[in-house]
Amino acid sequence: MFDTDMKPDFIHQTFIRCTQDALWDALTKADQVATYHFMCDAAEGDAEVGKPMKMIRKDGSTMLTQVTTALEPKSRIEMTFEPNWEGGAETSQIVFLIDPEGDHCKLTCEHYDIPKGQDGVREGWARHVASLKSWLETGQPIKAETTA
């Protein structure tokens, strides 16, 4: 498990009207991640400990690789965050926390050890979570316009 004594560099929280099962599947199933990911059209590899999940751009290149390091079913996912958009970019850590609250769930995204020069990931998380929320609540993701 990830060292939870550390403070995250970035935290994003939202509330999503969905079941805990639906949110869990949306975060762990590659085909669902591809549906709402704001920049990618495909994803490869479900979230399984020790296995990579890759976010694939429209041109077939890998934008991001995340290796699952720990899972607590339906409540916690820990992954590496390995950007492929910059040559030699450093790996950091992310944690998703799911807290069911009646007819909705609180989703917390924590990002640890964000390397210098990767401050743009903050906006990326805001876009990612907004698209996830929109997709789960309305069936419509929020995709970014790309030229790739």
Residue 147 has pLDDT above 80, yes or no: no
The strand pairing partners of 11, in sequence order, are: 110
Query: What is the arithmetic mean of pLDDT over 56-75?
Result: 94
Q: Report pLDDT digits (tens) over 77-119.
A: 999 999 887 666 789 999 999 999 999 999 999 999 988 878 7
Helices and strands in the chain, H and E counts:
3, 7
- What is the Cα–Cα distance from 15 to 53, expressed in whole angstroms? 24
Check residue 3 and give its pLDDT.
59
Average pLDDT, the chain: 91
Check residue 18 and give its pLDDT.
98
Residue 4 has pLDDT above 80, yes or no: no
Confidence of residue 53 (pLDDT cuts 50, 70, 90): very high
CATH class of this structure's domain 10-138: alpha beta
Residue 5 has pLDDT above 60, yes or no: yes
Check residue 148 and give its pLDDT.
42
Beta strands in 25-141 (DSSP E): 42-44, 52-56, 62-72, 76-83, 92-101, 104-112
Domains of the chain by residue range: 10-138
- DSSP annotation of 91 reads P
The rounded percent of the chain whose pLDDT value lies above 90 is: 72
